Structure 1
């Protein structure tokens, strides 16, 4: 079987050898899905996975914009339309200097499985630009977004491709992008999700990824007759996902002790309560400050510059920052310090050697394609509300989100149970996500 996996990866590598993040994502899926394919006659010989790893469309374009001093800048924009077998492409836009084809293809590939797991009719896509919003004025952000959308609008639509936000693309950016799309197309449609509540957005959308990450972890804990109550939780990141993961963990009775950003992490052994979390939300969302400023207000806390929080003793770890932020040594530290559950809030934050350590120790580990699917699930609910021209209450959306996360967990149990009391959630998520897309591709022929 390993020979089959190696042969497959050799072929993928020959076409994508300069794209390490994409190859990492494909390798992780291939390790679990190829043995499953070999055991199912219906998929044998159809090269389904090989067709899945090739984007249906990969678009790159120039994005010229003018700064406040009148200087012209040029960035590169992207949209990867990975797979539309079960619905229109769906996935976020990321504005960050590290954005390139490898990162977006890995994200789009993961998105295909993630969207499949939600049970909603959404294909996989991802996009963005190597533009850094940090330090830019609102006018500069607006000019960039308008220039970006002046090309992207040709390739998206409510029944074709529905982008959303991601790192560097929040409510402000979605507003500017939607405004230009509406002007160019002369229509008001649900083509972007994450919109403002007064113009087609959904309640619970900002909270959804963080909430969903905790809901999934809660389901995993229940399989061990355990809960968040009284547990110590370590969280990386301090953006939307981390903020609302912390909020939901607090609601469930946990003690959250860390948050981080690219400058380092803060440790508050007294616990980051709701008042302190509100301070962080204001600091990061409105003032766009650094997490280190937390200790200026809460002097009992400590700031560890340039470090990640995985050395802090905890029961539950929620990596909510970015890809490959947690390595093998970090995993060993977590295990040595008593961690029993890891639920990924970011996309592929755990490196392969870290996942191997978690599996070896047989702790509860949820891959991002399952545990952080709450964001895109609620984006799907926003699409439904836009199509119906109506809005659901916070309680309605939250209940639907819980149901979706419960369903994803059940699917992971179905395909990931090893028969000896251990659930491989990576295997479960990969196979469950694969089956729905593969069956649709088989039904539609070679297209």
Structure 2
């Protein structure tokens, strides 16, 4: 293959997708391709798709058009969850040349001996039952943070979710391989690692190709805490029924794990949790939040919640709203329910009208702003550690404290990827926190 060929990537969806895109990009670079930014002209554009919401499906077509504007002869490849669920649909979109399913995406360079445009996209997609092996990956988006994949797939059967159909059964990386990847990331000078997967609390299942748990999520957390050179470890989304009190206790005393948890709730109404086939009720969620705050009063807790699920009455929604309003959490990720083919929920009665879904979503997004503000205000006066990001935004550099408070200070490129002790002082009009240096940084 011509070593001068250029390839660009676009990722839709979750941190897990970002970790896999980064690994796939490195496989291209190993084959002699030059990676360029998606906004630049390339010979190949790879789009890693998502299928969690209807919006992600629609965005795919927009991204395809954007790539073809840059180079109408470019070879377009679709990979990811949407590519596994609806390969023929993607293959029929003008400009798409190749569609690869759940297992094929990691061998993408094997499928591109000929970069001639096709009249219709070529599909290579497995039956999802064949996605029973594990491929490790980690992302390096900027120099300050890496997403480390530790688990893939899901054995849960939530009635709204297509992820088990797109990613297959729950399976895990070996503990040793996770540790090796963490050491590789650390050696590149990256200060923070975010653990990611579909259902990371299920870590250990399928570690050696069987359903037996050789290790647990707590074993993983304890082992990673001993890796040299990692300044921060952050747990991404973890199911409340799988977040054990022992893990919370360990994180509270950990050397590297930060006091930040993202815990999906989906509804604050037990009737809806049962309809969704979630594996807990509201009481369990309350207990987890209480346990975290008892051990780590300054911990940041993020919440996923779905509005407009079939059967959600006004009273049900208000129960969720009031529950979250009173709960000691820090911010919300609000998802408006969208019908997904081949799920149980799409067949359910008592469909919530779209305008009602939109109104409820707006209410919860407003509550999220209020919750984040209240959390930030509770942190004013505290001495914390900030890790600065790499982007110049309107003359400011931003960073995050260990408990996920976003801060800013005038741009200085020497601050990028550095850790500093600061004291939070005030919240600006844009909702971002200003600070004083505990010790003024000096640069050589």
Determine which structure has the larger strand proportion and give its number. 2
Determine which structure has the larger helix proportion and give its number. 1
TM-score w.r.t. the length of structure 1 is 0.31
TM-score w.r.t. the length of structure 2 is 0.31
Higher radius of gyration, 1 or 2:
2
